[in-house]
Amino acid sequence: MLTEEIKKDLVSAQKERNEMTVSVLRMLIAAIVNKQKDKRLHIAAKYPLLSETELDEQEELADEETKEVLASEMKKRRDSVASFEKGGRNDLAEKEKEEIEIIKKYLPPEMSEEEIRLAVKEAIAKVKPEGPQGFGAVMKELVPKTRGRADGFLVSKIVKEEMNIN
């Protein structure tokens, strides 16, 4: 499981005294634990008669759910990089970029622009949108295919280009 791999890598980073990696992996584990707690609360509310043991079993995140958490954390870092660069804080932007590199190790490889364009063209052919209103339908088709593998802003930009929406 991906969570176990992150925990194992945390121990290794602690032994190597790699402070940046330790910090990032702790943050990832905290985000994963928070997601597990949210999932547990949702399950407990939906099925109030489950025992603690059953809740413990069901709160574990599947690798796909863990990847969603990691993708969310990476998006936060990318947004921070843009903000820091805009504000002239290149030192903080570099730190965020280092964190992104650590998080990338646990996610599938990112899609190239050509792969995104191909996926967009396939989605447009499948959905057959009419005018700008079809943008949402195309994005709905694309998001499951690109989640965690492509920047949402880039996907949106390419969809607008392919649909000739300004």
pLDDT of residue 54: 85
At 33, which amino acid appears? V
Q: Are residues 7 and 24 in the same domain?
A: yes
Number of domains in the chain: 2
Q: Are residues 89 and 131 in the same domain?
A: no
If you ran DSSP here, which 8-state letter would residue 131 be given? Answer: S
pLDDT of residue 26: 97
Per-residue pLDDT for 129 more than 80?
no
pLDDT of residue 60: 86
Per-residue pLDDT for 166 more than 70?
no
Q: Are residues 25 and 55 in the same domain?
A: yes
pLDDT in tens, 27-83: 999 999 999 999 999 888 888 888 888 888 888 888 888 988 998 999 899 899 999
pLDDT of residue 109: 87
Q: Are residues 118 and 97 in the same domain?
A: no
Q: Are residues 88 and 157 in the same domain?
A: no
Record the pTM.
Answer: 0.77
pLDDT of residue 154: 86
Q: Are residues 94 and 62 in the same domain?
A: yes
What CATH number should be reported for the domain holding residue 99?
A: 1.10.1510.10
Q: Are residues 79 and 7 in the same domain?
A: yes
CA distance 119 to 128: 14
Helices (H), the chain: 2-16, 19-46, 52-59, 63-86, 90-104, 113-127, 135-146, 152-163
For residue 39, what are the domain limits? 2-104
Q: Are residues 96 and 120 in the same domain?
A: no
Q: Are residues 93 and 121 in the same domain?
A: no
Q: Are residues 86 and 136 in the same domain?
A: no
At 69, which amino acid appears? V
pLDDT in tens, 105-114: 998 888 888 9
Per-residue pLDDT for 140 more than 90?
no
